[in-house]
Amino acid sequence: MKKTKLLLLTIAIITSFSLTAQVAVNSDGSSADASAMLDVKSSDKGILIPRVSQTELEAINNPANGLMVFNTDEGKLFIYIASEFKWKEVEFGSGEILYPASLSIGTGGSCSNTTVNGNYIAGCELDNSHNVVIDAMVSSAGSWSIQTDTINGYSFSGSGIVSSTGTVQLTLYGNGTTLSNQTNTFTATVDLGGTSSCTFDVTVIILNCDDGNACTDDSFDTATCSCVHSPVVCDDNNACTDDSCDPQNGCEHIQVNCDDGNPCTDDICDPATGCQNILIDCDDGDPCTNDACDPATGNCTHTPVNCDDGNACTDDSCNPSTGQCQHIAIDCDDGDPNTTDSCDPEIGCIHTSSEPVHKTTNQRKDKKKK
Distance from C-alpha of 17 to C-alpha of 23, rounded to nearest angstrom: 7
Tens digits of per-residue pLDDT, 173-196? Answer: 999 999 999 999 999 999 988 889
- 63-72: long-range contacts, CB 8 A cutoff, minimum separation 24: 63/87
Q: Is residue 272 part of a domain?
A: no
**Nearest C-alpha neighbor of 284 from the set 292, 295, 272:** 292
Ranges 14-18, 107-111, 293-297, most confident: 293-297
- Inform me whether the pLDDT recorded for 355 exceeds 90: no
Count how many domains the chain has.
3
The H-or-E segment that residue 55 falls in is: helix 54-58
pLDDT of residue 341: 86
pTM of the model: 0.50
**Statement to judge: residues 69 and 108 lie in one domain:** no
Classify residue 134 as exposed, middle or buried by CB count within 10 Å of its CB (0-12, 13-18, 19+).
buried
Q: Is residue 111 part of a domain?
A: yes
Q: Which of 146-160, 331-345, 356-370 has the lowest mean pLDDT?
A: 356-370
Query: Which domain CATH number covers 184?
Result: 2.60.40.350
Which pLDDT band holds residue 364 (cuts at 50, 70, 90)? very low
Terminal alpha carbon distance of the chain: 175
- Inform me whether the pLDDT recorded for 276 exceeds 90: yes
Distance from C-alpha of 104 to C-alpha of 192, rounded to nearest angstrom: 11
Domain interval for residue 14: 2-89
pLDDT of residue 224: 84
Q: Is residue 254 part of a domain?
A: no
Q: Write the single-letter amino acid at 2.
A: K
Q: Is residue 54 part of a domain?
A: yes
Which residues make beta-bridge pairs with 263? none
pLDDT of residue 184: 98
pLDDT of residue 16: 47
Which pLDDT band holds residue 108 (cuts at 50, 70, 90)? low
Cβ–Cβ < 8 Å for 109, 199: yes
Please provide the DSSP assignment of 304-316 as one string: EP----S-TTEEE
Which pLDDT band holds residue 356 (cuts at 50, 70, 90)? low
Which pLDDT band holds residue 168 (cuts at 50, 70, 90)? very high
**Statement to judge: residues 110 and 21 lie in one domain:** no
- Inform me whether the pLDDT recorded for 362 exceeds 60: no
**Statement to judge: residues 45 and 108 lie in one domain:** no
Tens digits of per-residue pLDDT, 247-260? Answer: 999 999 999 999 99
**Statement to judge: residues 115 and 69 lie in one domain:** no
Q: Is residue 129 part of a domain?
A: yes
Mean pLDDT computed over 67-89: 93
